[in-house]
């Protein structure tokens, strides 16, 4: 089975490829010649995932799945949320985003947060969504050099290391994207 994963983010692609069984051939946006920015204009994480999947089906005709992820911080009333990638501005710079978040939490004792990923699968004309959540907290400083995005400042519940300090395999077991993609894989295996 061929499925397009609606991303040009090589880190995301690598994470998901490590989870997908061999009988599913995963194609990226560049593999199908899609080089434009797919719109993400919905007010929710789920809405953006669905919008991206529907865009691909409409413009390219492939069975596909798309994801959207947000970091929701309790003390900031759910921010950065749907704007996680652009939190510090349109340049989508992880360092800027982390620095802004750490600055906004400087005087806060509540550092509870969770990552939320929604995967929207568009398969043979039907739409299905899968949600993965990973609870944890925001550290006071950056630790580790693995991963991407907010990984150096996010510690999952029950862990003393950030996502940027643990292996990709471990992150995929406990992380938000891994949980959502595992649900997707179970669904695809049961077809």
Active site residues: 68
The Cα–Cα gap between 99 and 31 comes to: 34
> Is residue 64 a contact partner of residue 122, using CB atoms and an 8 Å limit?
yes
Strands 2-5 and 25-27: parallel
Residue 162 DSSP symbol: B
Cβ neighbours, 10 Å, residue 61: 10
CB-count exposure of residue 46 (10 Å: 0-12, 13-18, 19+): middle
Alpha helices in the chain (DSSP H): 10-17, 45-60, 94-104, 168-174, 176-189
Positive or negative, the CA dihedral 69, 134, 131, 171 is positive
Q: Which residues pair with 115 in a beta bridge?
A: 71, 134
Strands 64-73 and 112-123: antiparallel
């Amino acid at each position: 089975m061929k499925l397009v994963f609606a991303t040009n983010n090589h880190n995301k692609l690598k994470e998901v490829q490590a989870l997908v069984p061999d009988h599913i051939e995963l194609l990226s946006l560049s593999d199908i010649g899609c080089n434009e920015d797919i719109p993400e204009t919905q007010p929710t994480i789920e809405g953006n995932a669905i919008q991206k999947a529907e865009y691909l089906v409409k413009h390219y005709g492939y069975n596909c799945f798309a994801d959207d992820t947000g970091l929701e911080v309790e003390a900031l009333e759910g921010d950065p949320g749907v704007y996680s990638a652009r939190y510090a501005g349109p340049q989508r710079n992880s360092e800027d985003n982390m620095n802004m978040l750490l600055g906004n939490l400087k005087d806060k004792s509540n550092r509870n947060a969770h990552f939320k990923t929604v995967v929207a699968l568009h398969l043979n004309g039907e739409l299905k969504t899968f949600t993965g959540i990973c609870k944890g907290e925001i550290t006071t400083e950056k630790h580790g050099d693995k991963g991407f995005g907010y990984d150096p400042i996010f510690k999952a519940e029950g862990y003393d290391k950030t996502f940027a300090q643990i292996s990709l395999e471990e992150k995929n077991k406990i992380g938000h994207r891994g949980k959502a993609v595992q649900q997707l894989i179970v669904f695809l295996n049961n077809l």
